[in-house]
Amino acid sequence: MKHKINLNVNGEKHSIEVESHHTLLYAIREILHLTGTKKGCGEGECGACTVIMDGVPVRSCLVLAVEADGKDITTIEGIAKDGKLTKVQEAFIEAGAIQCGFCTPGFIVAIEALLKKKKNPKRSEIIEALGGHLCRCTGYEAILKAIEKISK
Ligand code: FES
Ligand code: FES
C-alpha cells in the first residue's frame, strides 16, 4: 500500500510516496538519492545508516518511512554547511579516523548529535553514544582521539 509522506531533509522539504514496508533508509537512499547514508547490516547492528531525526540519532534501517512523516531529518550530506567541513569532520581527517569510510557517515552524524546536546562529553559518554557503531578498519582509537580532541 502506498503512502504520501513529508520529510524535511537537510532543510529541504520533500513530499514522497512510499510503501508501508519501506524504511527511512530506503527513502533516503533510493527515493531521495542521498547515498551518503550507508546500508550495512540492515538490521540495527552496525550504525552505518544513522541519521538525526528531530534531534535524535536513529538507525534509519529500523525506522519505517511512514514513521518519519513530518520529521526533520539530517543526513551526512546536511552536516557540512556551505561546503565547509565541521570540526568533527576535520578532526576525523586529521586523526586518520577514516580508512574505507563506509562507517564514517554514521559515526559523524552520531557525534554531531552528541555534541549538540553536550559540548564536552566525557570519554565514557562518547563511547556510549557510539555504542553499536561498527568499524572494521580503524580500530576505534583514532575515532575516539578525533572526538576527544575537539570536545576538549
Ligand atoms: S544498516 Fe542500519 S544499523 Fe546497520
Ligand atoms: S573506516 Fe572502514 S569500516 Fe570504518
23, 49, 75: which to mutate for ligand 1, most atoms within 8 A of CB? 49
Residue 152 has pLDDT above 80, yes or no: no
Which residues, 6+ apart, have CB-to-CB distance to 152 below 8 Å?
Answer: 120
Q: Which three cell numbers stand for residue 63?
A: 525506522
Q: What percent of the chain has pLDDT over 70?
A: 99
Burial (CB count within 10 angstroms: exposed 0-12, middle 13-18, buried 19+), residue 18: buried
Protein residues whose CB sits closer than 6 Å to any atom of ligand 2: 98-103, 135-138
Q: Which domains does the chain have, with CATH numbers?
A: 2-77 (3.10.20.30), 87-151 (1.10.150.120)
Residue 149 has pLDDT above 90, yes or no: no
- pLDDT at position 12 is 98
Listing DSSP states for 119-140 in one string gives SS--HHHHHHHTTT---SSS-S
Q: Of 69, 65, 64, 73, which Cα lies nearest the Cα of 113? A: 73
- pLDDT at position 151 is 76
| pLDDT confidence bin for 50, thresholds 50/70/90 | very high
